[in-house]
Amino acid sequence: MKNKAVWFRRGLCALAVSLAASAHAQQVSMETGTPSSVSGLVPQTMASYWARDGVEVQLSMNQTMSKSVLKLGQGALDAAMVPPNGLKALANGTEPYVGLGDKGVAMADNIRALFSVPTSIYHPMVWADSGIESWEDAAGKRIFIGPPGGAANAQIVALAESGGLSSGQYEAVKAPWGVAAQGFQDGQFDVLVMTYALGSQALSELSLSRNIRLLSLASDKAEPPEGLGLTPAVIPADTYPGQENADDSVTWQTLMMMGVRKDLSDDVAYQLTKSYFSHVNEMAKSNALLADLPKADPLKGLNAKLHPGAVRYYREAGIQVPDELLSK
């Protein structure tokens, strides 16, 4: 009986410690895009690790990133996956933030970065029997450039331009991501430009329904313009079962920033950053779509200053931080 009482008291103590730890866990509101995208998978996968390390993340998915950037800049959100070109547009008052002026500049300055994440790869595709074999062949055709007001618009327009098509040489079609593939199948546009992880199951299934061809950039056009949050990428010729490409396709991969509001506590920003790098190898092993994460440069493509909490982690880890990423 005595032993039972001892174990009961110990159980109560353990429960009290657990509840106290939970009560003291830092709460962070975070937004990201589609759950199946790399930018969605990273915070989903990290949520349990962050919780284990003392940060409870309340994650909202399927959000429009341009709106998340705005909320982050307003201080209405703690963290979000941020497209670098979206932050640039906010600071410059360009689409989709036209008219914000100085308010946009102030909101952009309220955003800090923790690290960058290589995410999905732009797959510009046509039906293999369409007669379109290159970007130039798509002159006068209808090209899907992403959702209205989305950060992808500028990226896809730049991709087409690097392929040899200026914005006036084709009809740009905007629609939500969720209806784009079906719209392509229904003939609403001739060129579908979507972001997928390399080897995406969804695209594999689409290519089995009807053969596709991926449009490629010339090798001397592989480097994307600065400030758009992009890096060169290659899609091997045999990646998808219904892919009719004799050669590899040169395209661009998107980069996203884990962004936070400027006044997020240094300790929370530090823990979010440290926990990510402590578990990045486990994440990569758990999902093939995250395999690129461990070898990625965490500072590549950042166009926001680093949060001091992140700087603290990088200095502890011996990672050199460029002066332009430091807040003054």
CATH number of the domain encompassing residue 176: 3.40.190.10
Q: Residue 91 falls within a domain, yes or no?
A: yes
For residues 163 and 224, membership in a common domain is answered with yes
Same domain, 129 and 113: no
N- to C-terminal Cα distance for the chain? 65
Q: What is the pLDDT of residue 169?
A: 98
* Residue 318 domain boundaries: 25-118+256-325
pLDDT at 22: 44
Q: Are residues 224 and 272 in the same domain?
A: no
Q: Are residues 273 and 249 in the same domain?
A: no
Residues 241 and 309 in one domain: no
- Domain co-membership, 208 together with 248: yes
Distance CA 216, CA 24 (A): 52
Whether residue 170 is found in the same domain as residue 50: no
CA atoms within 13 A on the CB side of 27: 5
Residue 4 within any structural domain of the chain: no
Which residue from 68, 72, 105 is spatially nearest to 90, judged by alpha carbons? 105
pLDDT lower than 50: segments of the chain: 1-23
The pLDDT score that the predictor gives to residue 62 is 85
On whether residue 7 sits in a domain, the answer given is no
The CA distances from residue 205 to 70, 132, 186, 201, 209, in Å, are 35, 21, 16, 6, 7
**Would you say residue 13 lies in a domain?**
no
CB 232 within 8 A of CB 272: no
**Is the same domain home to 250 and 267?**
no
Alpha-carbon distance of 291 to 249, in angstroms, equals: 20
Residue 8 lies in a domain: no
Query: Within a domain: residue 1?
Result: no
In a domain, 16, yes or no: no
DSSP 38: H
Of 228, 255, 282, which residue constitutes the final position of a domain?
255
pTM of the complete model? 0.78
Same domain, 102 and 29: yes
| 90 and 131 co-located in one domain | no
Give the DSSP H/E element, type plus range, for residue 164. Answer: none
Residue 6 lies in a domain: no
pLDDT of residue 318: 97
Domain boundary among 255, 275, 296: 255
Q: Which residues lie below 8 Å from residue 182, measured CB to CB, with a gap of 6+? A: none
Instruction: Give the chain's domain count.
Output: 2
Q: Which of 237, 255, 273 is the last residue of a domain?
A: 255
54 and 147 together in one domain? no
State whether 274 and 262 are in the same domain.
Answer: yes
